Structure 1
Amino acid sequence: MTITALTPAPINVPLAGASIAGVLVVAFGIVPFVGTGYLFEAILTPFLALSLAALGLNLLTGYAGQVSLGSAAFMAVGAFAAYNFNLRIPELPFLASLVLAGVTAAAVGLVFGLPSLRLRGFYLAVSTLAAQFFVQWALTKFSWFSNGSPSGVINAPPLTVFGLDLGSPVGRYLFSLSVVTVLTIVAVRLVRSQTGRNFIAIRDQETAARIIGVPVLRTKLVAFAVSSFFIGVAGVLWAFAYLRTVEPAGFNLDRSFQILFIIIIGGLASIRGAFFGAAFIVVFPLVLSRAGQAVFGGVFDSGVLEMSQRIVLGALIIVFLIAEPAGLAALLDRLKTRLVGAWAGR
């Protein structure tokens, strides 16, 4: 049975096919040849990893309506799982380690998603927050995960796929871009499928969804598993392609809130929103940092400037959410509609 009647809000999907093709042509065919090392390492690679993590959380929170504050924990599970698969089974291809890391994160997500069968809203958010503290505790308590490293910080192994060394900034960027592209296509197909419609039905009205035959319990667990898989793979990209170290500190509670802010800023239940929000979170602090150094560099020390940047960023996020609670995706859609209307009225 379909549930179209329970989905008054349309599913936001990426831009038209021609626009997507154009973006991919630029991303794969032009940027690698004209971009600088700073662009790849400080902007594009973290942007891609955070976009994928936000995409995973948006499937769970935006589409399925299940609030989670443990995203960084699932990123950590993915990163450490990939490291240990690579270490313990040397003959295993890295892409296989990547997929198995995502599966491991999905299994952990299933465990921590079990409370969603009884809890909702704030109480569910608190229960998922337990995943954050438990995973960080386990990774620091048991040295096996970090191969006995006294500090718990380990260098990520070389990034090699099909015999190709992707350790350069361009190579890590292209690898991240390829993974994010494939998983974004999977996400688009998922939200357009019956499973995606089931997600939205549970989000909009769980009782009505159960009455018309939607398998609520199974759908919730599927949402947690799929979301955790995406976030776990994003953790691998964050550790192997961006940080190039695997450490619990790279996946702290701040990272979970950062991913949550990304989907709120970009737009809930929007594939594009994950990318818009990640771009805002990655680029805007860099702009603030450069502006602060240029204007107040000789007056205040770096600590004061960094704290000021956080305050300004937080204030702007609040103002933006008041002005446009539906996120950047809705704002850009409205702007596009106005431009088209203005052009048609000429």
Structure 2
Amino acid sequence: MELTREEVAAPGRANVGQLLAALALALVVFVGVPLWANDYWLNAILVPFLILSLAGLGLNFLTGFAGQLSLGAAAFMSVGAYATYNLLVRVPALPLAVDLLLGGAVSATVGVLFGLPSLRIKGFYLIVSTLAAQFFVVWLFTRVAWFSNDDTSGVLSAPALTMGPWRISTPASRYLFVLGVATLLFAFGVRLVRSELGRCWMAVRDMDTAASVIGIPVGRTKLLAFALSSFVLGIAGALWAFAYLGTVEPDGFNLNLSFQILFIIIIGGMGSIGGNFLGAAFVVLLPILLSNSAGALGALGIAEDQLQNLQKIVFGTLIIVFLVKEPDGLARLVQLAWQRWTAKEQE
């Protein structure tokens, strides 16, 4: 059966449409947002949203794609932040991009060390093992003054960021810097999960015994998941400290942050690249929504000092709902909605 001219041209038109849509999106986020968004949106919403999306990507490599449970995401972020800080301060000749990559590499090394127990244990016991990283890292950075440039408090002011002649000091410049790094790492993530290593991760996640039978080196695959996950988390941690908090301190990477990142991948969708954006948007916007709804909630008898507890209740309820009803998270719901809309358009 021969294809019509319209059917032959359809794939090309679809590719052109996707390219134009991507260019329009890039124009909006790289040009439109810095021009029109105010400092509050840039500092308090968009920068943390991008960094948490990036942290979600790192944890998704490990948990969503490789199936290795972890509660040490914030610990690996702090390793990246302190490593990058020391590189910036002690080796000022290195470019900022190299400092970030080396900070991520240090975090990857630490991630592999704490990932070694995954060769023997899994599930709840692995969670406990990675949780130990959270407490050990905080202890190390507060007790060993060298990591904090001989400041025993462990609280450091973030150094000035520059890339050649570009000073990253304004809200718009910090946003663009974070956006550029996130874009590169998400592009890397898309290629990675579609590669042979990504397929090996998913095979180990689904059934590591079967993966071993077909010749996949399970131990090496798990350690690579810890390494690449911690690499991305380390860079996200440096951005969290330098571009968002403005300080490098252990309390900025506490256990609550690890839980937030875990919530991001559960709500957004484990094993989904786009789900990290959806989960991060939810985590960032929910507290703002509750804060702006304080008046309405007050009429229901919920005081302002109870909003944080309400936020925890909402998160806990949603996690239970998603785990039971839709384990693939918001990403799957968006995909289903898009399929229904396109089906109606074709009718």
TM-score by length of 2: 0.91
Distance 1:90 1:201 in 2: 43
TM-score by length of 1: 0.91
Deviates more, 1:89-98 or 1:76-85: 89-98
Q: 1:159 to 1:333 in 2, by over 3 A?
A: same
Distance 2:82 2:129 in 1: 22
Deviates more, 1:303-312 or 1:134-143: 303-312
Say yes or no: does 1:29 pair with 2:31: yes
Q: 1:28 to 1:118 in 2, by over 3 A?
A: same
Distance 1:162 1:301 in 2: 50
User: Sequence identity of aligned pairs in percent?
Assistant: 55
Q: Aligned letter for 1:133?
A: F
Alignment of 1:1-346 (within 5 A): 18-293=20-295, 295-296=297-298, 302-345=304-347
Distance 1:20 1:112 in 2: 39
Contact 1:79–1:246 (CA under 8 A) maintained in structure 2:
yes
Contact 2:290–2:307 (CA under 8 A) maintained in structure 1:
no
Distance 1:18 1:209 in 2: 40
Deviates more, 1:117-126 or 1:288-297: 288-297
Query: How far apart are 1:308 and its partner, in Å?
Result: 3.1
Distance 2:47 2:19 in 1: 24
Query: How far apart are 1:123 and its partner, in Å?
Result: 1.0
Contact 1:109–1:228 (CA under 8 A) maintained in structure 2:
yes
Q: 1:286 to 1:317 in 2, by over 3 A?
A: farther
Distance 2:206 2:23 in 1: 33
The structure showing larger relative contact order (alpha-carbon pairs under 8 Å, at least 6 residues apart) is 1
Residues 59-108 of structure 1 show CA distances to partners (whole Å, capped at 9, x for unaligned) of 11111111111000000000011111111112121111111100000000
Q: 1:151 to 1:174 in 2, by over 3 A?
A: same
Q: 1:61 to 1:295 in 2, by over 3 A?
A: closer
Larger radius of gyration: 2
Root-mean-square deviation (Å): 1.9
Query: How far apart are 1:184 and its partner, in Å?
Result: 0.6
Contact 1:117–1:217 (CA under 8 A) maintained in structure 2:
yes
The size of the alignment, in residue pairs, is: 331
Distance 2:19 2:224 in 1: 28
Q: 1:221 to 1:312 in 2, by over 3 A?
A: closer
Q: 1:279 to 1:340 in 2, by over 3 A?
A: same
Q: 1:311 to 1:24 in 2, by over 3 A?
A: same
Q: 1:132 to 1:211 in 2, by over 3 A?
A: same
Residues 266-313 of structure 1 show CA distances to partners (whole Å, capped at 9, x for unaligned) of 00110001111001111121111111156539x876423333333344
